[in-house]
């Protein structure tokens, strides 16, 4: 990488040319980083459901051609003007949201919703000059979530990069840059279950199982998994889930089933599906007096949350969370250290692996519901 700083780099990238169509491995040109930007050599990336969501572009603004990908790990190749806390050779995790460290949100101990670098799925250009750093034959290829990790090289705002321990295995910790941190943090940072408490987790995909892992690490004695796919229970046991409820198996609302199972409701619940009915159930299944429900999943834009105000008056609490309330640059390096110290497990989330040339297989696995995370190895 020594000869590339300041130069345009030609490399391979998986380009989504239109909604729902297979990605195409293309040679793209990646421009040097501008002020407050960093160019990163991506070594490992994984597929998150958010990538699939915007690739399908159902009900979303279609921004194509585009380079997707936002859950990854790599090494800094070069830095732009004004970047002082990263240098070539540093190991980093790109994150879809940022931490400028200067806005009111970043200065607040209670928020991680950076005013400058908050997630914007419709923006396909760099925030500094409104231009793309990717091109093919002079025509721009759009960015995704400020990361675009389905490329051997990408350009990211410095505020969206977490510098991590260089001894951490990049092929494993890459999953911390999105879904696993989101679910784990929703439990440990927001729900905060006490030792011996009961927790219900709605949705047993990767984010939900990360939430269950957070409950396990917190010492919860009962972790009830709720999912429409009963086949997921066996796998969920590895993440601490002790009981399973499939709403389809009952002729009454699942919140009533859970309340009966637990003598009035669970102490905490975490909703990880984005389904509005699951969100309502997650809130209504927590115990009166002290129950806390945390919403993680993103619902459709026109969804409406409907419940009786009495549920609040009876001292139930409803919270939302974004990226598990983690500040990317400040907190994610600490989460990597937690993994390095064997305080949390990550390997069990990675169920498949494919070379970059076969990235479309990862989409097939995600769409079919197989596995949790598919690791994409950039170098064969």
Supply the residues annotated as catalytic: 48-50, 70-71, 100, 103, 106, 114, 118, 178, 373
For residue 32, report the phi and psi dihedrals to the nearest 5 degrees.
-65, 155
Q: Residue 203 — left, alpha, or beta (φ > 0 → left; ψ -120 to 50 → alpha)? A: left
Take residue 154 and report the two structure tokens written for it: 């990408």
Spatial distance between the Cα atoms of 331 and 176, rounded to a whole number of angstroms: 11
H, E, C per residue of the chain: CCCCCCCCEEEEEEEECCCCCCCEEEEEEECCCCCCEEEEEEEEEECCHHHHHHHHCCCCCCCCCECCCCEEEEEEEEECCCCCCCCCCCEEEECCCCCCCCCHHHHCCCCCCCCCCCCCCCCCCCCCCCCCCEEECCEEEECCCCCCCCECEEEEEHHHEEECCCCCCHHHHHHHHCHHHHHHHHHHHHHCCCCCCEEEEECCCHHHHHHHHHHHHHCCCEEEEECCCCCHHHHHHHHCCCEEECHHHCCCCHHHHHHHHHCCCECEEEECCCCHHHHHHHHHCECCCCCEEEECCCCCCCCCCCCCCHHHHCCCEEEECCHHHCCHHHHHHHHHHHHHCCCCCCHHHEEEEEEHHHHHHHHHHHHHCCCCEEEEECCC
């Amino acid at each position: 990488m020594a000869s590339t700083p300041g130069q345009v780099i030609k490399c391979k990238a998986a380009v989504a040319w239109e909604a729902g169509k297979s990605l195409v491995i293309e040679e793209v040109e990646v421009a040097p980083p501008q002020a407050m930007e960093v160019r990163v050599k991506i070594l490992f990336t994984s597929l998150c459901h958010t990538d699939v969501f915007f690739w399908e572009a159902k009900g979303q603004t279609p921004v194509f051609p585009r380079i997707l990908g936002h859950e990854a790990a790599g090494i800094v190749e070069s830095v732009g003007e004004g970047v002082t806390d990263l240098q070539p050779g540093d190991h980093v995790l790109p994150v879809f949201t940022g931490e400028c460290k200067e806005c009111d949100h970043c200065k607040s101990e209670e928020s991680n919703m950076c005013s400058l670098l908050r997630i914007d799925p419709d923006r396909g250009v760099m925030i500094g000059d409104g231009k793309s750093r990717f091109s093919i034959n002079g025509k721009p290829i759009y960015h995704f979530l400020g990361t675009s990790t389905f490329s051997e090289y990408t350009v990211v705002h410095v505020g969206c990069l977490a510098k991590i321990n260089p001894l951490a295995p990049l092929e494993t910790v890459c999953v911390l840059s999105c879904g696993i941190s989101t679910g784990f943090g929703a439990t440990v940072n927001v729900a905060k279950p006490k030792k011996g408490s009961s927790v219900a987790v709605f949705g047993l995909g990767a984010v939900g199982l990360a939430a269950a892992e957070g409950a396990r690490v917190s010492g919860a004695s009962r972790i009830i998994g709720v999912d429409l796919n009963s086949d997921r229970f066996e796998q969920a046991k590895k993440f601490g889930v002790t009981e399973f409820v499939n709403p389809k198996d009952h002729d009454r609302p699942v919140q009533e089933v859970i309340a009966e199972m637990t003598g009035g409701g669970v102490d905490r619940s975490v909703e990880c599906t984005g389904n509005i009915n699951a969100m309502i159930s997650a809130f209504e299944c927590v115990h009166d007096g002290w129950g806390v429900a945390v919403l993680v999943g993103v619902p459709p834009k026109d969804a409406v949350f409907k419940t009786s105000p009495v549920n609040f008056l009876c001292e139930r609490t409803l919270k939302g969370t974004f990226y598990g309330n983690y500040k990317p640059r400040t907190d994610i390096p600490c989460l990597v250290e937690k993994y390095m110290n064997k305080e949390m497990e990550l390997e069990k989330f990675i169920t498949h692996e494919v070379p970059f040339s076969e990235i479309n297989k990862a989409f097939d696995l995600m769409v079919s519901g197989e596995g949790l995370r598919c690791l994409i190895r950039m170098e064969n």
